[in-house]
């Protein structure tokens, strides 16, 4: 390996470490103290993310699968041993996600870093997200949002992108995309008024 490859490898491992530290920092703040605390904290997350990167770098997908099963097993053991009133598994799932993102640094560094930020934001916004879903959104608003997502994410990719009709004047994909855009504008307007 030349200096460029060594520098690239070092950057990949540095990002993997950063991912583990970032997610672990958030989890450390919520893990509690004493015998009832969560098993995984900042150091565990950093090590697990590095394990993901190292297993992908050194031995590829087979090693990642074996190490991933090991990490998932540790997460299950940690959950089973924890004395908890909250039956949530967020920390355990986050531990597995940190492992996967560490492995992803060896394939797509920018995507792994971006996903780590998104994961940490989701973890940080726990209270706000729970409040939004439980207290702010009405059943009707949730139904409308789901209908919009079906139109944009399920139906739009299935609509044919070909010219049809007399003189090939119509394109179903373009028409449905316009429907989705109008729905998005309508939804944003509703959110702004609300």
Q: DSSP per residue over 112-172, as a string? A: HHHHHHHHHHHHHTHHHHHHIIIII--HHHHHHHHHHHIIIIIIHHHS--S-BSGGG-B-H
Interatomic CA distance for residues 129 and 65, integer angstroms: 32
What was the pLDDT predicted at 85? 65
What was the pLDDT predicted at 194? 78
The two three-digit tokens of residue 185, written as one number: 């504008």
The band of 18, judged by pLDDT with boundaries at 50, 70 and 90, is: very high
**Over the stretch 81-136, which tens digit does the pLDDT of each residue have?**
776 666 678 888 899 999 999 999 999 999 999 999 999 999 999 888 888 888 88
List Cβ neighbours of 39 (8 Å cut-off, separation of 6 or more).
77, 78, 79, 81, 82, 91
**Over the stretch 122-176, which tens digit does the pLDDT of each residue have?**
999 988 888 888 888 888 898 999 999 999 999 999 999 999 888 888 999 999 9
Residue 22 pLDDT greater than 90, yes or no: yes
DSSP bridge pairs for 164: 170
What was the pLDDT predicted at 38? 66
What was the pLDDT predicted at 121? 94
Residue 36 pLDDT greater than 60, yes or no: no
What was the pLDDT predicted at 32? 64
**Over the stretch 45-79, which tens digit does the pLDDT of each residue have?**
999 999 999 999 988 888 888 898 989 888 888 77
Angle between helices 3-30 and 90-104 in degrees, nearest 10:
170
DSSP bridge pairs for 175: none
């Amino acid at each position: 390996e030349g200096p460029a490859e060594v520098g690239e490898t070092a950057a990949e491992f540095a990002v993997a470490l950063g991912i583990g530290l970032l997610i672990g920092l958030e989890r450390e703040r919520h893990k509690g103290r004493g015998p009832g605390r969560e098993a995984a904290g900042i150091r565990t997350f950093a090590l697990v993310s590095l394990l993901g990167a190292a297993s992908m770098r050194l031995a590829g997908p087979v090693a990642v699968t074996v190490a991933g099963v090991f990490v998932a097993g540790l997460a299950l053991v940690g959950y089973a041993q924890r004395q908890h009133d909250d039956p949530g598994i967020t920390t355990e799932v986050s531990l597995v996600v940190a492992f996967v993102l560490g492995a992803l640094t060896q394939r797509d560094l920018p995507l792994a870093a971006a996903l780590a930020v998104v994961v940490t934001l989701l973890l940080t916004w726990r209270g706000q997200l729970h409040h939004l879903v439980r207290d702010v959104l009405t059943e009707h608003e949730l139904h409308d949002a789901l209908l919009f997502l079906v139109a944009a994410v399920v139906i739009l990719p299935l609509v044919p992108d070909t010219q049809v009709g007399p003189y090939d004047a119509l394109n179903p994909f373009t028409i449905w995309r316009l429907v989705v855009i109008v729905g998005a504008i309508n939804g944003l307007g509703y959110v702004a008024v609300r």
